[in-house]
Amino acid sequence: MSAARQGGRGRDPERVAYLNARLLDPASGLGTEGDLLTDGEMIADFGPGLFKDGIPEGTQTVDCAGLCLAPGLVDMHVHLRDPGLTEKEDFPSGTRSAALGGVTTVVDMPNTRPPVTTRAVLQDKRTRVRGRAAVDYGLFAAPRSEGAVSQLRDATAFKVYMAESTGNLQIDAETLGAVLHASAELGRLVVAHAEDEHRFRKGQPATLAGHSESRPKESEASAIRSLGALRGEARVHIAHVTCAEALAAVPEGVTTEVTPHHLLLDTGRPLQAFGKVNPPLRSPEDREALWDAFAAGRIDALATDHAPHTREEKEERFDEAPSGLPGIATSFPLLLRQVRAERLSLERLVDAMASRPAEILGIPKGRIEVGADADLVVVDARRVVKITARRVRYKCGWTPFEGMEGVFPSTVYLHGERIVEDGEPIAEGAGRPVTRIEA
């Protein structure tokens, strides 16, 4: 079965009808069979039997019988390493991999070089990435003083580091309090890397279990409690929670995110430093508890924390290898496989990977909705394949999910333009900066 459009390649600004698809959006009648009409860059209409009176003249058709049609996914936590660290990844390569996995919007973290801590750097980064992204994108900034907050107000959202990790952008509690206060005044979202350095244990771990003990679960719960005390009126989102203990510390009104690696990998895997990440992978039991919380809807969003490092760096001695692992192309494929295995509902998948992150960021994405951008993913849920480094095309050349099963999209559209066809990336540079919906 093919979702190939009848007609030319690339941009087709006219009307396109997607016929007999399973629409994967809770708002559009989740999992029901229906049709969808796009007009140029936007979704014009959708629903069952949309064309029972015939298809309007001049409309191209895409046969989606037996296929699923999902809103393009939103990955609110990626490190594309551009500028400054482009031996690991860059905007074209990282966004191409995103598209392969059905992700049509990414938000890039500020620990690039130089770090995005000033207005000048933010503007420079924006200029450098323009026209080079295969999917739509936003940019995080990292204010390191109260005054920096208004300087950086054009960023999509703010990131604060409460502990050391790649980039050394951590701030102390007093500065954090001031940044949260100023962000609240501006109504900006603050995403927190929540680990408390005072709870770290000394030593030079040589294994994944040792790494987990050196940055223990209590350090996350403790940092989250501090955030709760400091946050005031700020809108706070906690990145990459790894365990039930951290979740239990999350205050009412604060949103949370989980990564595919904390849901699907643990310290029992023979990954050595290729599985080294902050916060660390936990035990199989912790992972199971995290999965149950995610499946039950107690975590808002799924984001990858795609943080590639080169093979050479990861082959260093364990305690010297950098933390972080890639995942931008494999999150939807891996999670859709879990839906197939009946370990997760489709509704939860679409909510956590599209609607909720868009809502948290305040961007008009992640939904099948009349007037929304026609960012769409066509996938045959029966086509299970093995994940390989070759398939995901990261610049770093490896994936920690090698050999695991996934379901990749066949076609991906960005504002109505095909950017992936037959599972292959076919368009570059079509990505645009996202705009926030001002509250």
Looking at the Cβ atoms of 159 and 391, the one nearer to Zn ion is 159
Give the whole-angstrom CA distance, residue 251 versus residue 398: 37
Q: How many other CB atoms sit within 10 Å of the CB of residue 195? A: 26
What is the closest distance, in whole angstroms, from the C-beta atom of residue 255 to ligand DOR in the complex? Answer: 18
Site for Zn ion in 345-364 (CB under 5 A): none
Q: Is the peptide bond before 364 cis (omega within 30 degrees of 0)?
A: no
Tell me: does residue 337 bind ligand DOR (CB under 6 A): no
- Residue 165 lies near ligand DOR (rule: CB under 6 A): yes
Partner in contact with 306, chosen from Zn ion, ligand DOR, none, beta carbon below 5 to 8 Å by kind: none
The span from the CA of 314 to the CA of 286, in Å, is 25
CA-to-CA dists, residue 228 to 160, 219, 236, 296, 378, angstroms: 14, 14, 9, 23, 40
Residues 173-212 as x/- pattern, contact with ligand DOR by CB under 6 A? --------------------x-------------------
Residue 104 beta carbon to ligand DOR: minimum distance, rounded to whole angstroms: 22
Q: Which of 346, 349, 265, 343 is nearest to 301 (CA)?
A: 349
Residues 292-331 that bind Zn ion (CB under 5 A): 305
* 111 makes contact with ligand DOR (CB under 6 A): yes
Residue closer to Zn ion (CB basis): 78 or 264: 78
Q: Which residues of 325-348 are buried (b: 16+ CB within 10 A; e: fewer)?
A: bbbbbbbbbbbbbbbeeeebbbbb
278 binds ligand DOR (CB under 6 A): yes
Find, among 130, 67, 73, 126, the residue nearest to 98 by Cα. 73
Backbone angles phi, psi at 23, to 5 degrees: -85, 120
The item of Zn ion, ligand DOR, none sharing an interface with residue 159, based on CB under 5 to 8 Å by kind, is none
373 as an active site residue: the answer is no
If contact means CB under 5 to 8 A according to the sort of partner, which of ligand DOR, Zn ion, none does residue 26 touch? Answer: none
Q: Provide the minimum distance between the beta carbon of 116 and ligand DOR in the complex, in angstroms, as a whole number.
A: 13
Q: Is 75 in the site for Zn ion (CB under 5 A)?
A: no
Residue 400 touching ligand DOR (CB under 6 A): no
Distance between CA atoms of 42 and 317, rounded to whole angstroms? Answer: 50
Please give the residue whose beta carbon sits closest to ligand DOR in the complex.
324
Nearest one of 141, 85, 155, 80 to 110, comparing CA atoms: 141
Beta carbon of residue 125, minimum distance to ligand DOR (angstroms, whole number): 15
Catalytic residue (one of 35, 196, 286, 305):
305
Alpha helices of 252-309 — where are they, by DSSP H? 260-264, 284-295
C-alpha dist (Å) from residue 260 to 39, 97, 140, 300, 303: 34, 16, 21, 13, 7
Among 277, 377, 379, 414, binds ligand DOR (CB under 6 A): 277
What SS3 state is found at 200? coil
User: Considering beta carbons, is residue 193 or 262 the nearer one to ligand DOR?
Assistant: 193
Contact partner, 165, from Zn ion, ligand DOR, none, Cβ < 5-8 Å per class: ligand DOR
Residues in contact with ligand DOR by the rule CB under 6 A = 79, 111, 165-166, 193, 277-278, 307, 323-324
Residues in contact with Zn ion by the rule CB under 5 A = 305
